[in-house]
Structure 1
Amino acid sequence: MAEITIRPVIKLSLRVRDPAAAKARIGAVTSQLERIFDSLRAGLVELSHRQAVALSGEVYRLVVERFEMNPGEPEDWEAWKGFHWAAMEGRLPNPPSITWQEIMNERLAALGAFGVSHGPILLDVIESLPPGDSEKSLEVRFGLLASWVLARHALEVTPSSRLKLLQQVAEASLDAGWAMKRASLGDYTPDPKANRFPPVFTQNTAPGINLTTLFEHWQRETKPAPATLATWKPVVLSFRAHVEDQLVARLTVKDIISWKDKLLDQGRSASNINGTYIACIHALLSHAKRNGHVVQNVAAGIGLKVKRVAGTGKLPYEDAEVAALLGLAQKQTHAARRWIPLLATCSGARAGELAQLWAERVRQIDGVFVMELRPAEDGGTFKNAGSERVVPLHHALIKAGFLDFVRAKGQGPLFYGRVTGRGERHASKGTVNHLAGWIRKQPGFDNPRKAPNHALRHWWKSTASRVGISDSRADHLQGHVGQGEAAGYRHFQDLKSLAEDIERIPIPAY
């Protein structure tokens, strides 16, 4: 953000030396100036209560995004909230101002203003001060933040609307302070207050929404897995910074291409750019199109050509490697190390699916011992709908004592210890990562082309083909979604015949 003086000729610095970067910023500056001129022509706006709350949500998100990774100490936020209360009640005429550019630790300021920086005594001191002109103290404390929000949306508002916005900004930043205090204590439970802000929608933003609001709308509607959310949040931040969070309806193909080129210059691989960065924005813009925010998805068809290079593809384990791994696993007392390699060898299932297995889902159906593979009851996720299936147990598992292990567990997760809380990264992810790390440390398992867990899945599919299991049945057992319309007509419900297929897989002696 740059401060400019409006005269017959407007001059400002783009604050970059690179010509390509300057060219990209010219478009953003021109767009912002057009919005400002539209606002000036429209005159002062009277904000509704809903609009004021929506706009204050940007302050909440600003604070949380800036501090959630490193929230500091609880006492920092006690001082922050103390100044908020004092300003909101007019008990401190000149509280420290907060700017959108920098939010500072205020413990020293609180010590100077109140004689104490944190704790219950701080509240007692503030309450002992007489109430005063809250309108003035709100402007001093939150005025720069309010101006930042209004500038983002090119809004000029009436004095009464500004006061309304200041009050909501105070409440929003107070909520953010509570959330960050909890985070500083190690509590990252999703804050229900984060969902109280409606989408920003004014005459100057209609008919579009910005990327921040689009991401929130997509998140509420699709309810993505925590792992997906963790992967996509930094992607959205990167794209927002590149296009300066402009309205989604104003994005162009050039915006996507220039961002793609920037990521490439940063050294990111073509597969990473295609599979994570552009895939994320493509999904968000598809969501925007479905909901009428854009006419077209400007990210469609954009990507880098990924050339497969000889010597880099993933490989399966050899029979001897499978035998060696199972031999190592047999000696382990750690449940995941002991059983998941053998389960994967006998079924071809993904390690992430097996790690979510609960004791209640290992049972007998129609005389066949099976495991029901589906997302864990405490919020687990699978790759796709076709991944949910019932797989017969190989006799090698029963012979090794897997059923005895399950019976001893009784109920609940077999391979992770705690039930995952709502919104958290699922506990089974840690199990899978632990197992992969353990395998990688074993002698002879350091080949980068053989993924520690997934090479077993490659081995199973190759072995299935070798022993004559049809591709369609192997796909079903492994949870691969069949291709083409014909795949939708195949149903594999005969567990006894599936058990016969499973038994055809020869488990290497270990």
Structure 2
Amino acid sequence: MTTATIRRDSSYRQYRKRVPADVLSRVKGRSYLLTLPAFGAAPESVVEVKIRPTISFSLRVRDPAAAKMRTGAVSAELERIFEAIRTGPIDLNRQQMVALSGKVYDLIVRQFEKDPGEPEDWEAWKGFTWAAIEGRVTNPPSISWRNFMTERHSALGHFGVDSGPELLDTIARSPPGDNTASLELRFGLLTSMVLGREGLEITEKSRLELLRWIGDAALDAGVAMKKASQGDYTPDPKAARFPPFQSSTLPESVSLTDLFDRWKAENKPAASTITTWRGIIGDFRKHLKYDDAARITDHDIVAWKDTRVAAGRSAKTINDSDLACLRAIFRFGVINKIITRNPTEGIKVRVKKEAGKGRLPYTNDEVARLLACAEMETLPYLRYVPLLLATTGSRVQDIVQLWSENVTEEDGVPVLRITPAPDGASLKTVGSERVIPMHPAVLASGFVEFARSMKGPLFYGGRPRRNVRKDGEGRHPSKGTSNRVSKWVRELPGFQDKRKDPNHAMRHWLKSAAAKAGVLDSVANYIQGHTDSSVAGHYRHFDDMKSLAAELAKIPIPTVKT
């Protein structure tokens, strides 16, 4: 059970999670560092947790949305740690150890390069690090994620001096010894942190060797930060020595493109989704400047997300399109054991709802004027698509891809069969596929007679067109029809309100009109192709066309008053 609660003595949200008994029996009392992702004004932070029957700590945010995001991210990280504990310890090779030590180097530099303090701070810090590596001090202070540089006072207590050449001379006079304990004391928490992020549980032999490599990396980072404290930000050539981490259970490398193609082959998404998502993947690769899915970290995702925000992309688009794409691809990779973790977990743009910016439905007057204009058109897609949208509340793509055989009868009732088109056009959801009766206004418009006179697609050509590529990509021709309808609506007098989508505002209107007419929400949802996710919804079926037609006929279609 995982919850985000509020304690009586704190306004911050609290995280609570019971630790599974099998995990508790193996590592009770061991400490781990968990990352709390940045959210809005709350910066990224790290929390130390000790494995107990119930883990609890502050999420360091008050906002419920931020708490929910951090709860999800921390839960995912803990599950990786628990799974590694259950799997049992593994041995690391040399390359993996150096790669993991590089993550510690990056952590230290990223934490302090903007404000590195004074050179004397780093002299004390480096002194303790060197002394721990060589076993010259038995109880060095642990490198903390809270602050790495407040060690001058400790150095004074340990060695009698706090900085400068005298400190190094004093440490050098202490004989080297067994560094097993000092390495763990100095670097143990950071080691557990990088192992937890990668979901690794390693043998004692590998851990001791990894501690040595992390000590060397921490010493290099201290040297680089001392230079930065003196105003020298020359790139550190030693930073290039760290390879990307690669799990021994994974292939040498898997590209984002390959991962996407494997996801596509298994999930068989719509052609439009493939085209859109391939563009998102391309933009992300361009930002990364490499194409190795296993190397990508949560920091890479955040950095790319920030570039999308800076480019003016809306929060909804970033969350529902950009991040949704990467999240699905990486989740597929984790489930299929192609990569070890999903770096997108818990990352999103905060959506702040502002007055005056939400979507609006058409008014009755706008619907009447729009349909009156459509009635005067001769092009079938302009004459009939707006009317079908108004009387079904469908997504525009459901309508523009109709074929003549989709207009038929069932139980003597004229109906529309909303199905995937024979030439490759798909529907958005499973609930989009349905059979719905035609409204009396449609029957009176001549649409049925028009459909019977056609063969193949009704609104994007007089014969079947198959210009979707064999690989499933490419824009379906019906998409061009929906764009032309939108353009036509926008050019009508009085239809320039950007809060009213040219086609989708009709979908919003019908939902309200159905409620006013006394049509049950479940019936309106079915007609519009809205998926009912409730338990009852899975048992509800609409197969009585006469009753459904009677319900639909209750909804009055506005007309222009003369």
| TM-score category (smaller protein) | 0.5 to 0.7
| Alpha-carbon shift at residue 233 of structure 1 (Å) | 1.9
Between the aligned partners of 1:222 and 1:245, the Cα distance in structure 2 is 25
| Alpha-carbon shift at residue 293 of structure 1 (Å) | 1.1
Question: What secondary structure sits across from 2:435 in the alignment?
Answer: strand
Aligned twin of 1:263: 308
Structure whose CA Rg is larger: 2
1:446 maps to 2:496: yes
Amino acid across the alignment from 2:376: K
Match of 1:231 among 238, 263, 276: 276
Aligned twin of 1:342: 387
Between the aligned partners of 1:258 and 1:211, the Cα distance in structure 2 is 17
Amino acid across the alignment from 2:381: A
Indicate if the aligned counterparts of 1:205 and 1:247 stay in contact, CA closer than 8 A: no
Match of 2:434 among 374, 389, 400: 389
1:414 maps to 2:458: yes
Match of 2:377 among 332, 343, 348: 332
1:460 maps to 2:510: yes
Aligned twin of 2:202: none
| Alpha-carbon shift at residue 435 of structure 1 (Å) | 0.4
Indicate if the aligned counterparts of 1:331 and 1:338 stay in contact, CA closer than 8 A: yes
TM-score by length of 1: 0.58
Indicate if the aligned counterparts of 1:373 and 1:388 stay in contact, CA closer than 8 A: yes
* 1:230-278 per-position Cα deviation (integer Å, ceiling 9, x unaligned): 2122211222233333532332222212221232233322222212211
Match of 1:293 among 338, 355, 363: 338
Between the aligned partners of 2:313 and 2:453, the Cα distance in structure 1 is 47
**Structure 1 stretch 328-337 or stretch 207-216: which is displaced more?**
207-216
* 1:70-97 per-position Cα deviation (integer Å, ceiling 9, x unaligned): xxxxxxxxxxxxxxxxxxxxxxxxxxxx
| Alpha-carbon shift at residue 203 of structure 1 (Å) | 9.1
1:221 maps to 2:275: no
* 1:40-76 per-position Cα deviation (integer Å, ceiling 9, x unaligned): xxxxxxxxxxxxxxxxxxxxxxxxxxxxxxxxxxxxx
Match of 1:206 among 234, 244, 251: 251
Between the aligned partners of 1:204 and 1:399, the Cα distance in structure 2 is 66
Indicate if the aligned counterparts of 1:211 and 1:245 stay in contact, CA closer than 8 A: no
* 1:442-496 per-position Cα deviation (integer Å, ceiling 9, x unaligned): 1111111111111111111100000111111110110000132221111111111
Question: What secondary structure sits across from 2:451 in the alignment?
Answer: helix
Amino acid across the alignment from 1:248: A
Indicate if the aligned counterparts of 1:208 and 1:294 stay in contact, CA closer than 8 A: no
Aligned twin of 1:508: 558
* 1:166-223 per-position Cα deviation (integer Å, ceiling 9, x unaligned): xxxxxxxxxxxxxxxxxxxxxxxxxxxxxxxxxxx99997255121221222233333
Aligned twin of 1:358: 403
Aligned twin of 1:494: 544
Indicate if the aligned counterparts of 2:517 and 2:554 stay in contact, CA closer than 8 A: yes
Between the aligned partners of 2:312 and 2:467, the Cα distance in structure 1 is 36
Between the aligned partners of 1:422 and 1:202, the Cα distance in structure 2 is 39
Amino acid across the alignment from 1:422: V
Amino acid across the alignment from 2:468: R
**1:34–1:243: structure 2 CA closer, same or farther, 3 Å change rule?**
farther
**1:265–1:455: structure 2 CA closer, same or farther, 3 Å change rule?**
closer
1:478 maps to 2:522: no
The alignment covers a number of residue pairs equal to 314
Structure 2 residue runs of 5 or longer lacking an equivalent are 1-93, 100-245
Indicate if the aligned counterparts of 1:212 and 1:245 stay in contact, CA closer than 8 A: no
**1:420–1:506: structure 2 CA closer, same or farther, 3 Å change rule?**
same
Question: What secondary structure sits across from 2:388 in the alignment?
Answer: helix
| Alpha-carbon shift at residue 414 of structure 1 (Å) | 0.7
**1:485–1:202: structure 2 CA closer, same or farther, 3 Å change rule?**
closer
**Structure 1 stretch 305-314 or stretch 237-246: which is displaced more?**
237-246
Between the aligned partners of 2:447 and 2:287, the Cα distance in structure 1 is 53
Q: Give 1:93-132 correspondences, 5 Å limit.
A: none
* 1:283-321 per-position Cα deviation (integer Å, ceiling 9, x unaligned): 110110121112332212210110111111111111111
* 1:358-379 per-position Cα deviation (integer Å, ceiling 9, x unaligned): 1111111111110101111110
1:319 maps to 2:369: no
Give percent identity, aligned residues only.
43
1:281 maps to 2:326: yes
Structure 1 residue runs of 5 or longer lacking an equivalent are 1-32, 39-200
Indicate if the aligned counterparts of 2:247 and 2:340 stay in contact, CA closer than 8 A: no
Indicate if the aligned counterparts of 1:207 and 1:293 stay in contact, CA closer than 8 A: no
Between the aligned partners of 1:324 and 1:253, the Cα distance in structure 2 is 50
**Structure 1 stretch 383-392 or stretch 206-215: which is displaced more?**
206-215
Between the aligned partners of 1:360 and 1:240, the Cα distance in structure 2 is 43
Match of 1:374 among 390, 394, 419: 419
Between the aligned partners of 2:339 and 2:359, the Cα distance in structure 1 is 39
Instruction: List structure 1 runs of 4+ shifted beyond 4 angstroms.
Output: 201-205
Aligned twin of 1:302: 347
Between the aligned partners of 1:401 and 1:204, the Cα distance in structure 2 is 64
**1:203–1:34: structure 2 CA closer, same or farther, 3 Å change rule?**
closer
Question: What secondary structure sits across from 1:400 in the alignment?
Answer: coil
